[in-house]
Copies of this chain bind each other. A is one copy, B any other.
Amino acid sequence: MATHRTSTPLYRRLARQLQERIDAGTYTAGARLPSEPELSAEFDVNRLTVRQAVAELERAGTIEIRRGVGTFVRPPAVRVSIDVDPRSQRVDLGSVHAALHSRDGEEVVAAPPVTGSAEDLEAAGRLGRAPGELSRLESVIRLGAEVRTVSSYWLPSALLPPGFDRPGLRGNLVPELARAAGIELEYDWRAFGAIGADLADAELLGLPVGTPLLVREGVSCTPDGAPALYVRRRIVGSSARFVLHYREHPDR
């Protein structure tokens, strides 16, 4: 196989061949692929080349690598039904988060200092404040044992009630924070996007760096229109193919 050079790399051609076998059903969903040495021997390439091909398929979400066990074909995409609006073609963004909340709610995991990093500066800009005026919280939401959502909050330090920066605090953070601070919060804007997990996210989520995450960010204001809270959530599913699913709502 290593003969006849073409422009496409060997590992990529090998990845394609493996993908074809999966598509063709030679390796069915849940099945274990041959081990790396076996593939190395079968295709007559170095084991590292096999690993590159396999890593490519893992990044593509096609297979799952389990250390010490083997590589397995992923079952089809997992979807989480969430929400609803049929006629108006519209979606209630607020409920996306609600649907992701497990019974335990959020858990504050850190309150890193606002130093002036790129993230901090962006948050400061969105809140119209200087970085020095802001506090920051990091929280996670679990579904069972797995961390499924990582959230970063920035808000004026004056609005942070005592004790809310204590790691381990659990609850429904935004409403409890608003209640404790004696303010009301209204949505200003929200955004959706796709992003790869960075080093910090990957560590918190226990997932490889670059894992695709659904990002929801936004700003909440006090009723007089003053920006009071900038939130940036990174949401992950049980596989790389996780998709939030808005379903028709019966009573709208």
Contacts and interface: CB of A to CB of B under 8 A. Distances in A.
- In the complex, the count of this chain's copies comes to 2
A57 B196 CA distance: 10
A192 interface: yes
Interface string A61-76: 1100000000000001
Contact of A60 (B89, B209, B242): B209
B210 A194 contact: no
Contact of A210 (B76, B210, B242): B210
Contact of A76 (B57, B118, B195): B118
A4 B217 CA distance: 41
Instruction: Indicate the member of A197, A214, A237 with the most B CB atoms within 10 Å.
Output: A214
A103 interface: no
Nearest to A58: B210
Contacts of A16: 199
Interface string A186-204: 0111111111111100100
B214 A193 contact: yes
Contacts of A90: 85, 88, 90-93
B191 A212 contact: no
A243 interface: yes
Given A59-B210, A91-B91, A212-B213, A122 B192 contact: no
A79 interface: yes
A214 B188 contact: no
Interface of A: 15-16, 19, 23, 56-57, 59-62, 76-77, 79, 85-86, 88-94, 117-118, 122, 187-199, 202, 208-215, 217, 235, 237, 240-248
27 contacts: A15-B199, A15-B209, A59-B196, A60-B209, A61-B195, A76-B118, A77-B122, A85-B90, A90-B90, A91-B91, A189-B245, A189-B246, A191-B243, A192-B214, A192-B246, A193-B214, A193-B242, A193-B245, A194-B194, A194-B195, A194-B212, A194-B214, A194-B215, A196-B211, A196-B240, A210-B212, A212-B212
Given A90-B92, A189-B248, A194-B242, 10 more contacts: A23-B117, A59-B210, A61-B196, A61-B198, A85-B90, A188-B248, A189-B246, A192-B244, A196-B210, A217-B243
